Amino acid sequence: MTSPFSPLSSSPAPTASTHVPEARPASDRVTYLQVDEASETQRVDNFLAKVLKGVPKSHIYRILRSGEVRVNKKRVDAEYRLQLGDEVRVPPIRTAEAAAKPVAPAIKARLADHVIYEDDAMLALNKPAGMAVHGGSGISLGVIEQLRLERPQAKFLELVHRLDRETSGVLMIAKKRSALTALHEAMRHHQMDKRYLILVQGQWQDAKKKVTLDLQKYVTESGERRVQVVDAPLLNNEPGGRKSLKASGVEAKRHAAKGRFEVETQTSETWFYLQEMLGPCSFLQAKLITGRTHQLRVQLSYLGFPILGDDKYGDFALNKQLSKQGLKRMFLHSSETRIAHPLTGEPLHLVAPLPAELAHYLQQQRQLNSVK
C-alpha cells in the first residue's frame, strides 16, 4: 500500500492552479483541494490535520504561518472557517512510507439493529449500555468508531452529544456538518426536550420537582474523574481542594495542558417527575434543562436517592444485592428526545424503548409491590 501522501500521478508536477476535488495532498507538488459539505464550516487547521494524517500539528501551523497554505489564493490564519467550494492550496508534504497493513477482518455490524431514526442529515441510535460513545482510556472502539467502521462509505459521522458508558438510550449522530452545527445550536438555546427513565433508592415524595445545584469536577486520589455538588468552588490552596482548581476559559485549558485537572463550577438544572412508588424504590422521569457531566447521577445521589446500579455515585452495598437479583447495570435510560430536524425544521420525536433487562426488573418490582 502506498503512502496517502504519495504523488497523485507520475506526470510532471504542475505549477499552475489545478482543482483536484477530494484528492489527497501529494508529496512532490502543490495540491489544490476543494471543500465539500463534509468540511464546510470546519477550521482550516483541523481540516489540514484531517487530510494530512500523520503530519505533526507543529508542521501544520508552520505552513499556515508561512503562507504556504492558501484559501482561494489568500493567506488565512488557523482559525479561518472553510466555506463550501473553497479552494485550499496545500504545499508538498513528505512523510515516511507507511508499512503495508494486513487486510482487516470483516467488521461485525454491532449497531445496525439499534438505529431508531435515519435520514440524509442524521441518525439516532438506541445506544446499548456498556458501550462508550467514543474510544479512549483503554477503550479501543466506541459507538462513533464502530459506526465509521460499519459505514466506510459515509463521508461524515460525528457525535451530536454524549451518554455515559453505562447509560442506554437515544444518541444522535450527524451525517452532515450543517446538521451538526444546527443541532448544537438548538441544544445551546435549550430547544431540545430530553427525557430519562430512572429507578432510584428511596421514596420520592414530589409529583414534580425542579432541582438546581452547582457542580464541580475533580480528580480522586486514584486518578478517576468525578463530579460533586458544591456550595462554593474549591481552590487548590483550600482543604479538600488539592486537586481542584477554580478556572474557566483559556486559563483552565492552560492548567489542563500542564496536567492539572480542569475544573469549572457549572449550574445544573433538572425537572423530575414521579412515575411510580415501588416500595423502597421510586420510578422517575427526568427532563434535562442543562446537560452537565454525570448530572442526573450526582444530583440524585446528593439528594439521597442514588440510582440503582450506579457504580460511581450509588449505594455500593445495595448494588451487590441488586446484581444477585438480576439488575447488573445502572437503571438510567435516555428514553426520548424531541427536537426540530436540523435541516427541515420538522418536529422529531426520537423514542428508545426501555431495554429488556430494565423492563424485566421493573416488572419484578411492580409484582413484588402488588403482593405487599
Out of 45, 164, 193, 231, which one is annotated catalytic?
Answer: 164
Enter the C-alpha cell of residue 241.
Answer: 481542594
Q: At what angle do helices 57-65 and 44-51 cross, to 10 degrees?
A: 130
Q: How many whole angstroms separate alpha carbon 144 and alpha carbon 147?
A: 5
Q: Could you count the other beta carbons within 10 Å of the beta carbon of residue 232?
A: 10
Separation CA 296–CA 306 (nearest Å): 9
Q: Please, how many CA atoms are within 13 Å of residue 309, restricted to the half-sphere of its CB?
A: 21
What are 90's three cell numbers?
496545500
Cβ–Cβ under 8 Å, residues 261 and 245: yes
332-340 and 168-174 as β-strands: parallel, antiparallel, unpaired?
parallel
CB 301 within 8 A of CB 231: no
What does DSSP assign to residue 307?
B
Task: Compute the distance between CA of residue 23 and CA of residue 7 in angstroms, rounded to an integer.
Answer: 11
Note if 86 is an active site residue.
no
Order of strands across the sheet with 70-71? 31-34, 87-90, 70-71, 74-75
Which of 340, 344, 362, 345 lies closest to 353 in space, CA to CA? 362
Which amino acid appears at position 367 of this protein? Answer: Q
Type of residue numbered 124: A
Q: How far apart are CA 215 and CA 290, in angstroms?
A: 11
- Residues annotated as part of the active site: 164
